[in-house]
Amino acid sequence: MSTTAQGVGFRSERGPILIALMLTTGLVAIDSTIVATAVPSIVHDIGGFSSFPWVFSIYLLAQAVSVPIYAKLSDVVGRKPIILIGIGLFLLGSILCGFAWSMPALILFRVVQGLGAGAVQPMAITIAGDIYTLKERAKAQGYLASVWAISSVVGPTLGGVFSSLGIWRGIFFVNVPLCLLAAWMLLRAFHENIERTRHRVDYLGAGLLTVSLSLLILAVLEGGQAWAWNSPQSIAAFAVGAVVLAAFLVVERRAAEPVLPQWVFSRRLLLTTSLISFGVGAIILGLTSYVPTYLEGAINVSPILAGLALAALTLGWPVSASQSGKLYLRIGFRSTVLIGVGLALVGSALLAVTAGRPNLIVVAASCFVIGLGLGLVATPSLIAAQSSVEWNERGVVTGTNLFARSIGSALGVAVFGAVANAIYAETTGGDAIPSVIVSASSAVFVAVVVVVLLVVVAVLAMPRRRAAAATPTAPVPVVAAD
């Protein structure tokens, strides 16, 4: 049957697909908070405090560089096989991380997990864009956003419990039943009718992109730690990374089917929404990576409470995201995003100003306001991009937007990590001294404010677009449900 059936919800004809998408979204949503909460316990067990930002960066890098490939393939072979491959890789990576015996091993296994996440998150969002109209999508986003709300409580709570009990490996093993259930639901409920045509995947471009980003992130994260900023190693990493990135741009111009098509960046709406997504990624991971460490190290807050303070961020996001449809259908995408970025600026400024006097309630309130803002930024800007193209381009557009967010997260963690590590390095054992932890965290929160201001500039450059005229009134009839 076609997707023209009316209604959005569990009891509608597309209800089983919606449930399956919520399950797959939950994989990434829980992982985004549960790992950060357990960082102190992981470091205590296997060591490597100065390397812990790599636990996030390498995961995000693997996710980022794989998103464009998955997105391109999904427009060729369909969404279902790609999302199932992603779930399989995420499952394998989770099991390997659970058995990690050292920080280098954990970082390596996070690569596998990140490769899975690179397919899971964008495909879930793309499928929702395929089966729902613009008006329906606003309500469907509420359901998907509720997953982040639930995960914002479940993730930190589980992470805190596992950490307190000294069984941090459970944060990875909890993904096993979720992966199996999500895969079973998709196999049972989601079906596609795709016209097969011959395509060429830009593997050379994908390889060059991976190498260049890896070198640049390595240079930022290890500068001032493993080597001096002006050392030959640092200069070489930056220089070679830049050269390989330039080579990637040249290859993309000549590729028959580039992994990142130039038309994505030549359209003002797609370019600005990608820049917005880049900034959102940096903000999220800057807070996710350092809020728990800040609270636990500065005022000796328990992992559970630190995780719940961070949960306010991912709780505020779905609250506003679920209501964003009412706004952008009434006042347009740009105005909605402007309101959101204004809230994010207020929350991040409050966090930065009060960072010198750590307070659990203030941190939680700041994170909640930032989350409210980001919910009105990320969701409407992504839907604006999706609704400006047809089905055969929607995978690439969604993938590019989430690729930008992943790159922003990876580079954000690297830059924030470099800022914090530079302050820690000034004092022997500084990562265990409360006053030094406060100074380092304060610097990170100020950097987050700077990123929010850059997002404001990108939003102001976003073209005005009325939601009512952004997409046809009926979804593309290529997906069928039992």
pLDDT in tens, 12-46: 777 888 888 888 888 887 887 677 777 777 877 77
Task: Tell me the residue range of the domain where 19 lies.
Answer: 15-192+259-471
User: What's the pLDDT tens digit per position in 400-450?
Assistant: 887 788 778 777 877 887 788 788 878 776 667 888 888 888 999 999 999
pLDDT at 381 exceeding the cut of 50: yes
pLDDT at 75 exceeding the cut of 70: yes
pLDDT at 475 exceeding the cut of 60: no
Residue 189 makes CB contacts below 8 A (sequence gap 6+) with: 16, 17, 19, 20, 481, 482
CA dist., res. 426 & res. 440, Å (int): 11
Inside any domain, residue 478: no
pLDDT at 341 exceeding the cut of 90: yes
Question: CA-CA distances (angstroms) from residue 54 to 36, 398, 453?
Answer: 12, 26, 26
Q: Kindly report each contact of residues 209-213 with a partner whose C-beta sits within 8 Å and lies 24 or more positions away, as own/partner.
A: 209/65, 209/68, 209/245, 209/248, 209/259, 209/260, 210/61, 210/65, 211/241, 211/244, 212/241, 212/242, 212/244, 212/245, 212/247, 212/248, 213/61, 213/64, 213/65, 213/241, 213/245, 213/407, 213/410
Same-domain check for residues 96 and 39: yes
Same-domain check for residues 99 and 136: yes
Per-residue confidence (pLDDT) for residue 196, from 0 to 100: 60
Same-domain check for residues 50 and 123: yes
Inside any domain, residue 9: no
- Split into its structural domains, the chain has a count of 2
Amino acid letter, 218 = L
Nearest CA to 190 among 247, 124, 241, 253?
A: 124
Strands 190-192 and 479-481, by their bridges, are antiparallel
Q: Are 36 and 288 in contact (CB under 8 A)?
A: yes
pLDDT at 161 exceeding the cut of 70: yes
Per-residue confidence (pLDDT) for residue 473, from 0 to 100: 39
- Tell me which of 220, 241, 258 is where a domain ends: 258
Same-domain check for residues 327 and 375: yes
pLDDT band at residue 466 using 50, 70 and 90 as cut-offs = low
Same-domain check for residues 267 and 277: yes
Inside any domain, residue 371: yes
pLDDT at 9 exceeding the cut of 80: no
Q: What is the CATH number of the domain that holds 161?
A: 1.20.1250.20
- The more confidently predicted of residues 107 and 259 is 107
Same-domain check for residues 169 and 250: no
Sort 23 into a burial class: Cβ within 10 Å, 0-12 / 13-18 / 19+.
buried
229 torsion bin: left (phi>0), alpha (psi -120 to 50), beta (else)? alpha
Per-residue confidence (pLDDT) for residue 5, from 0 to 100: 45
Inside any domain, residue 32: yes
Nearest CA to 68 among 31, 28, 115?
A: 115
CA dist., res. 130 & res. 424, Å (int): 48
Same-domain check for residues 132 and 222: no
pLDDT at 149 exceeding the cut of 80: no
Residue 59 makes CB contacts below 8 A (sequence gap 6+) with: 110, 111, 113, 114, 117
Inside any domain, residue 285: yes
pLDDT band at residue 452 using 50, 70 and 90 as cut-offs = very high
Same-domain check for residues 119 and 154: yes
Inside any domain, residue 477: no
Sort 482 into a burial class: Cβ within 10 Å, 0-12 / 13-18 / 19+.
exposed
Amino acid letter, 378 = A
Per-residue confidence (pLDDT) for residue 91, from 0 to 100: 94
- The more confidently predicted of residues 153 and 269 is 269
Percent of the chain past pLDDT 70, that is, above it, reads 88
Same-domain check for residues 101 and 38: yes
- The more confidently predicted of residues 463 and 413 is 463
Amino acid letter, 377 = V
Same-domain check for residues 185 and 274: yes
CA dist., res. 191 & res. 478, Å (int): 9
CA dist., res. 381 & res. 279, Å (int): 12
Residue 227, SS3 per DSSP = strand
Inside any domain, residue 476: no
Kindly state the DSSP code that residue 223 receives in the 8-state scheme: B
Angle at 396 between CA 392 and CA 401, to 5 degrees: 140
Residue 390, SS3 per DSSP = coil
Same-domain check for residues 333 and 391: yes
Tokens standing for residue 19: 């449930």
User: What's the pLDDT tens digit per position in 189-237?
Assistant: 887 776 666 666 677 887 888 788 778 877 776 666 667 778 888 889 8
Amino acid letter, 234 = S
Same-domain check for residues 109 and 220: no
pLDDT band at residue 313 using 50, 70 and 90 as cut-offs = confident
Per-residue confidence (pLDDT) for residue 376, from 0 to 100: 92
Average pLDDT, the chain: 81
Inside any domain, residue 480: no
pLDDT band at residue 68 using 50, 70 and 90 as cut-offs = confident
pLDDT band at residue 138 using 50, 70 and 90 as cut-offs = low
List phi, psi (to 5°) of 480: -125, 150
CA dist., res. 136 & res. 401, Å (int): 21
Element of type H or E holding 438: helix 434-460
pTM for the whole structure:
0.75
